[in-house]
Amino acid sequence: MTVSIHNQDGPFWLEPDSDPAHFPDPGYALEEPNGLLALGGDLSPARLLNAYRQGIFPWYSEGEPILWWSPDPRMVLLPEQLKVSRSLHKTLRKGEFRVTLDSSFSQVIAACSESRTSKDGTQSGTWITDEMMQAYITLHRIGFAHSVEVWHNDELVGGLYGVSMGRVFYGESMFSRQSDASKVGFVHLVYQLKAWGFALIDCQVHTDHLASLGARDIPRDDFLHLLDNHCDPFEIHQGTWQLDASISVGLLRD
């Protein structure tokens, strides 16, 4: 096996055949661009899951090497701190959208890949490459990646996907083809995660959209401490997810 990581005054380089559990300490991440830690490696399930466990995620564009990030601060949402605006409450009570979990993962990630909005909220070309799509579809097949689908008259109009380990959900991307569709899906997900005893939703980087829903920035060290407490990959909820019927009913009445 080749040397797993090396660095020459810049981001670390991961050899493709290196130990998938071996990442540099997030404390070595660059300040500019914020959080860039390493390049290279691969998107195997073992490497991806080890990255998430250590507070690291991939984010890169077509034609670039795989880039691994651990920004400081980190945007997170504690499920009990979800904020639902008056207008969103009104949308939820109308019951015009139907929400499901894990029923159309490939459709959701494909729709997210068509979005022109990057993780930091700016407009750009998609960062969800074919390689990324296939990697997360594989994670979904083995029970670690999950999707939320929002339907209107049997048409997929919004959704999101992410990775679950222990009592942590790592949000990756969302899309919306109708006003409030992705927010409706996110609210249902948060209520379901809270019912299952999840402690943390990782939102990765700051966006005004997520801040309006109650997410906030915390120091990276605090985020990593939360992972130490809550991210046991063998704890609970691996497999196909299904939304509790009581969640939707409760939101209609709330």
Whether 121 has a pLDDT exceeding 80, the answer reads no
Domain end among 20, 40, 69: 69
252 pLDDT band, cuts 50/70/90, is confident
Q: How confident is the model over 62-74, as a mean pLDDT? A: 95
Beta-carbon count within 10 A of 225 CB:
13
pLDDT for 130: 94
The CATH number that applies at residue 9 is 3.30.70.3550
The token duo for 229 is 């407490």
6 pLDDT band, cuts 50/70/90, is low
Residue 11 and residue 90 share a domain: no
Domain end among 69, 91, 112: 69
The CATH number that applies at residue 207 is 3.40.630.70
Whether 105 has a pLDDT exceeding 90, the answer reads yes
Whether 123 has a pLDDT exceeding 70, the answer reads no
Residue 53 and residue 157 share a domain: no
CA 12, CA 118: separation in Å to the nearest integer? 23
The H or E element containing residue 58 is: strand 57-58
Residue 79 and residue 59 share a domain: no
Runs of H (alpha helix) within the chain: 45-53, 86-94, 105-114, 130-141, 181-195, 208-211, 220-230, 245-253
pLDDT for 237: 74
CA 59, CA 73: separation in Å to the nearest integer? 17
Whether residue 34 contacts residue 7, with contact meaning beta carbons closer than 8 Å, is answered with no
Residue 84 and residue 64 share a domain: no
Residue 105 and residue 181 share a domain: yes
Q: How confident is the model over 115-128, as a mean pLDDT? A: 58
HEC assignment per residue over 87-98 = HHHHHHHHCCCE
Tell which wins on pLDDT, 115 or 20. 20
Whether 118 has a pLDDT exceeding 50, the answer reads yes
Lowest mean pLDDT across 85-89, 115-119, 174-178: 115-119
Residue 84 and residue 65 share a domain: no
- Give the rounded distance of the alpha carbon of 130 from its chain centre: 17
Residue 180 and residue 131 share a domain: yes
pLDDT for 108: 98
Domain end among 51, 69, 87: 69
Residue 28 and residue 135 share a domain: no
What are the phi and psi torsion angles at 238 (to 5°)? -85, 140
CA 238, CA 37: separation in Å to the nearest integer? 28
pLDDT tens sequence across 17-26: 999 999 999 9
Question: Which residue range is the domain that position 52 belongs to?
Answer: 5-69
Residue 207 and residue 99 share a domain: yes
Return the percentage of the chain with pLDDT > 70, whole number. Answer: 90
Q: What is the mean pLDDT of the chain?
A: 91
253 pLDDT band, cuts 50/70/90, is confident
pLDDT for 2: 33
Whether 42 has a pLDDT exceeding 60, the answer reads yes
Domain total of the chain: 2
Residue 150 and residue 27 share a domain: no
Residue 236 and residue 146 share a domain: yes
Residue 147 and residue 34 share a domain: no
Q: How confident is the model over 66-82, as a mean pLDDT? A: 98
- Predicted TM-score (pTM) of this structure: 0.92
Cross-sheet strand order for the sheet of 145-152:
98-101, 145-152, 155-165, 168-176, 200-204, 74-77, 216-218
Whether residue 169 contacts residue 162, with contact meaning beta carbons closer than 8 Å, is answered with yes
- The answer for residues whose C-beta is within 8 angstroms of residue 233's C-beta and 6 or more apart is 49, 53, 165, 166
